[in-house]
Structure 1
Amino acid sequence: MRPLSSPSRRRPLRTRHTGAAVTAAGLAALAAALTACSGSTPASADTAADKPDISVNLQGKQAKAGSPVKVTLADGKLKQVTVADSKGEKLTGKVAANGTTWTSDRKAAPGTSYKVEATTDEGASARTSFRTAAPEQVNKLSLTPGKDTTVGVAQPLSVVFDHPVKNKAEVEKHLKVTTSNDTTGSWGWIKNYDGKDRIDWRPKDYWKSGTKVKLDAQLAGINSGTDGGWFVRDYVTGFSVGKSQKVKVDLDSKQATLVRDGRSVKTVPMSAGTPGGDKASWGGTSVLMAKEGTINMRSETVGLGDAYDKMVDNSMRLTWSGMYAHAAPWNASYFGNTNHSSGCIGMSDGDASWLYGQVQVGDPFEVSGSGSKGVPDPGNGYGEWNLSWADWQTKSALS
């Protein structure tokens, strides 16, 4: 290799005046000396003409976040560019076909320091750095189910945001779901029961037992829109699908049946909500949200006045609005013959204890028969299974 000071290798320094170009003072700060691969030319012989002339679209300590990082070489061709934050996390990117620019695949996150290193095809390198401005507001999220959990076949992947999400399509594009068996599914935007924005990924049909699911939410650097704020980090979670089972609740026969792998395991008598008013049970499909054990149930918390205040065993939550399956020994005379509860599915202590031990979070409870008060909204627990597949797909911001 010839020394870089050879006349045949020299190029005059040129400054291009473009919208992304920096001032002469800025270029001087961004430039770095060539590193020669030959020792025949002393370092002191390097001149300004030997230095790679690079510019970066983001500069200083208050750079605007939310744009890809673009590195431009004034003369010659780029071989490699590395852009990394203070934690060593790198932004991937590509060199353009003409070799003069490199653009990151992802956007720069707010409140983040980045180091840039560019190498030319002649072996020269240049380094610089910048920091993006801190966000005025940060949007965070919560994920269900929890990481590395095992859930039932009806459990959707659910994301609830702390602040409103106006840029729904932009956010949805950065939520990547992968499954071990290429399950068909779709995102859908709904309102959570507390009024917060929420997006769920629901498979077309119930999950197959044994499916492994992963969410890679690459949200750092994405602006959720007015009143929402910036996302400043990525989120990764995953879960597995357990036994294929469901609970079928028949309001007409007053029976509840656990079905596993398509076969009935056991049927128990029960008493559901009193038909004809607010105390009626929800129909359709609800998903077991949590196994809460022994809890205090008070009627005023669900808008039913002072009708009851009880400690209730083997409580299995089905909706945010307060529908449970649980032990209800005080209602023993109604099991199997009359729906006479305040909306829940009540059973004997023994039957409730048995069912509690069999079900898993994410199992569907399919309620059929007459006397229900309709089906719960998608955000009241996980009520999206009450929508057809076609209707669910329309809730995607990318549909």
Structure 2
Amino acid sequence: MSHIRARSAAVAVVLGAALCACSAGAGGVSPPADAKPGGRDRPVTVTVTPDGEGAAAGKPVVVGAEGGTLSSVTVTDAAGGRLTGRKAAGKASWTSDRKAAPGTTYTVEVRTRTRDGRKVTTRTSFTTAAADRVNKLSLAPGKNTTVGVGQPLSVVFDHPVARKADVEKQLEVTTSNGTEGSWGWVRDHSGKDRVDWRPREYWKAGTEVTLDARLKGTDSGRAGGWFVRDYRTGFTVGARQVVRVDLDRKRLTLERNGKKVREILVSGGTPGGDKRSWKGTAVLMAKEGTINMNSETVGLGDAYDKMVDHSMRLTWSGMYAHAAPWNAAHFGRANKSSGCIGMSDSDAAYFYGQVRVGDPFEIKGADTKGTIAEGNGYGAWNLSWERWRARSALHG
């Protein structure tokens, strides 16, 4: 069996009974001179696009058959990855479900059936041009973790994403109980593009969540570049825990499954200036243990520089819940911190052991810096469902 490529918009292969006798012409391949219309020697012409070396990426692979029908099409890359696809009605064409990725060589095996019932197989290949720029991403939460009911799926991109709708189409979220949710695009606190998926309401305990980011072969735009791989993560939602912080009463209440577990005396941010706390719903981002806190990193000059125990991050801008024994005289009495939610060593140790990443902190108070922004940690819960859904590139 032999075949020949036509270096035009497609690669054409003419198939005879046992051996292909072909002559390439502009736009296709001519049948053998002795082929008779409707006769046994009438060939099948197979076309494949993209074609050749340095072909354009970001397009589906399309296979066509003239003079016969397609029995099967197999498209594989050098690593053995396969592009699945579908045959059109009449079986005269096949289109891949995914787009061809940049810098990749694909082998295409096509099995056809001639009009008089003969089966013929042909193989060809093409290579796409390499990407000038590659975009990558980071995912939260981590794979195979158990998180709280407020934890969103969060995707942060290394480079800008201009083609947000094209990217969002490739992000598939599957839940074990059909949870309603939506993607929403935000500007991360780092300045990068970010897209989060949050449920309409807090997750139900026990929900299993999977994200398939089928981005290989997707162009994020001129400044962002191509994605050259897929990503996958999954997590489970733990018990329903909600932390309610009342800065006016200087009280923190931990609730589990709708029941009060413990109330803790706290001291929040000092009223009247830059040391005030944020209000709204924050999501516990990380349990960081004992860390150094330096006021210069959050724009508060030399107000403090100390090691702090049982530190639980709530925002990228530096609001934590943590042990603050130096403020013991103010717990339950006055807000005198530099913006964090402080409590005693013993209460902080207990609380640190009870909460998990993803637990929502619902914070209220009369004198605060304002509501936590969507990109300052996980602030999506501070938008109504309608406003959040409007941030989707597909539904907004």
TM-score (norm 2): 0.90
Q: 2:262 aligns to what SS in structure 1?
A: strand
What is the CA-CA distance between 1:103 and the residue it aligns to? 1.0
Task: Quote the residue 1:88 is aligned against.
Answer: 80
2:349 aligned residue (347, 353, 356)? 353
The 3 A distance-change label for structure 1 pair 18 and 102 is farther
Listed as ranges, the matches of 1:282-293 within 5 Å are 282-293=278-289
Cα deviations across residues 198-244 of structure 1 (Å, max 9, x unaligned)?
00001000000000001111111110012010011111111000111
Code of the residue aligned with 2:341 in structure 1: it is: I
Code of the residue aligned with 1:70 in structure 2: it is: V
Q: Is 2:131 the partner of 1:135?
A: yes
Q: Is 2:99 the partner of 1:99?
A: no
TM-score (norm 1): 0.89
- Please, which runs of 5 or more residues in structure 1 have no aligned partner? 1-14, 35-42
Cα deviations across residues 99-139 of structure 1 (Å, max 9, x unaligned)?
22111111101011111000013321000011111100000
CA distance in 1, matches of 2:80, 2:307: 52
Listed as ranges, the matches of 1:62-73 within 5 Å are 62-73=54-65
Q: 1:77 aligns to what SS in structure 2?
A: strand
Q: Is the 8 A contact 2:9 2:51 kept in 1?
A: no
Task: Quote the residue 2:27 is aligned against.
Answer: none
Code of the residue aligned with 2:308 in structure 1: it is: V
Listed as ranges, the matches of 1:154-165 within 5 Å are 154-165=150-161
CA distance in 2, matches of 1:102, 1:184: 34
Cα deviations across residues 16-60 of structure 1 (Å, max 9, x unaligned)?
x998445xxxx4xx55676xxxxxxxx6x7755556432211122
1:54 aligned residue (36, 41, 46)? 46
Identity %: 63
CA distance in 2, matches of 1:299, 1:163: 30
Task: Quote the residue 1:113 is aligned against.
Answer: 105
The 3 A distance-change label for structure 1 pair 215 and 384 is same
Q: Is the 8 A contact 2:7 2:52 kept in 1?
A: no
Backbone CA RMSD of aligned residues: 1.8
Which structure has greater strand proportion?
2
- Please, which runs of 5 or more residues in structure 2 have no aligned partner? 23-31, 33-40
Code of the residue aligned with 2:88 in structure 1: it is: A
What is the CA-CA distance between 1:61 and the residue it aligns to? 2.1
Q: Is 2:214 the partner of 1:215?
A: no
2:251 aligned residue (236, 250, 255)? 255
Task: Quote the residue 2:295 is aligned against.
Answer: 299
Q: 1:190 aligns to what SS in structure 2?
A: strand
What is the CA-CA distance between 1:370 and the residue it aligns to? 1.5
Show structure 1 runs of 4+ deviating over 3 A: 17-22, 30-34, 45-52
Q: Is the 8 A contact 2:14 2:21 kept in 1?
A: no
Which structure has greater helix proportion?
1
Q: Is 2:191 the partner of 1:199?
A: no
1:272 aligned residue (262, 268, 272)? 268
Code of the residue aligned with 2:323 in structure 1: it is: A
